[in-house]
A and B are shown apart, each in its own frame.
Chain A
């Protein structure tokens, strides 16, 4: 109850901070407005900490931090260059894969059983693609070329499956209940963050190479596609990621609660602060994560700000605002776009790896476009396209309300339906449907901001 009131109150606060622009009064000075927006946000999290619990507040904060980093990545693409990425989910998922491949323990039996076969299929795939490219380049455009290409691809696929199938089955048969995959390298999971960025960057390069330089819609559709496929691969290639069986128990970059509770210094510290060691151990762990994430956020933010205010950033915005004249001035628009698209995706990949690190497990089924792509879009648009601070704020605000919308919605529905009988079908339906209200709310926020305040909470300078 208190939480819902709190939610409503905060929402009102945010609306008030937007209101001058909505009704056309003189806006507050930029600096004061920005600082107060961030202050309100901090206050909200603190209120949650005091009313609900510090555990909840820190969990919220951690996801807010990750969301902000993702929003920064998307802002680099959309805000700086006007590139529409509708496949954020895929790039985040690649970060998750990196977390598994870097940090999970290698499964020796599985390597012995099928690594060779997988390796051979991979080489064959490369050979097939090379052969197809070679044929395409060296044959005159004709029916014969088309048929040759078709034959190369079909034969390639059949041969690959000949090696791949048995290898996959062999790997998946190794202790399927808990393993059944190759595992990872067993390295510290922090290393997965940059690697996740690299994975995402490579995928972005592939997409950008194909779809940039064409109409803006094509990039959107191509990214939509690659995201679907990346997630499909993660869900179905059990030998790589265990598919929907999930990879759990990834190592942590921070201490485990159980170790903390058993170490003397921590128990002493907790007793001195007058706290329960069990409870404070989990707060402590979340705090460690929060510090790590904040460091990453600050680095990314600092780099983004530097980039935005450099000649490179000015050129990007010049291209965004007038592609034709930038082209005429001899700027290689497509190459710049490719650059910025890859950079933004790298940031999203890093954030994706961080998210999997925080969860401690890879859950392929959790990659939903609404949660991972469109929510991030709302963050960027609401925060202020083209402004890095806006993206960070957007990440905080939207994630906070995405989480708090559930209790607010339930409370709203209960209030609305309180006049009905307990077993009223409509009432039950409405109460069960509150989860879907979140989607609608986010869509409405996107539409409203786009229409009435297209520059967002913290507009671009």
Chain B
């Protein structure tokens, strides 16, 4: 059984219509799982469902074998999940260092080691650690956001379109870092618009269409699947 297993999720926001239909997402330890699909396919919704920000009518979510279907997002953070929202994912009027500290808010032990690890991963943040996060460039801000999430020492890191609005160079850089994070044994679940690049680094890929699993395979296999290429990767 995978480290994260969200199976047969069906549900929507509040009392609204269902957006997800029998959707299943899994990620093993240290694995990068990527959700891709056309606009409005319910990619972000699927991720939010995994994080407990939406009412599931059916299906369940387990983490490390434990059923967490009915936990609040905050409780899931305590269980080792970390979530990086797509927008407003930093505390703009607080310094980089304070952003990281806030990421570790729930921890009572010494956080300096983790902070050093984050600085090693993103050296630019160490340089700018006294600067307010709101004053950083878009790419640096994404690094702060990922760094903040890593401060909880999560087992599962969830990224909602981390490369939205950053330049291609920064994107490649960010993907490299994400691979590094995965190598330390952290599972990664990521929603991406840039399907081709994301599937390149993915161990597992999910193509969602209208809230349903359309294709599920390894990243490489999906890249080579002619139908996936034709419909979702632009040939």
A and B touch in the complex (CB under 8 A): no
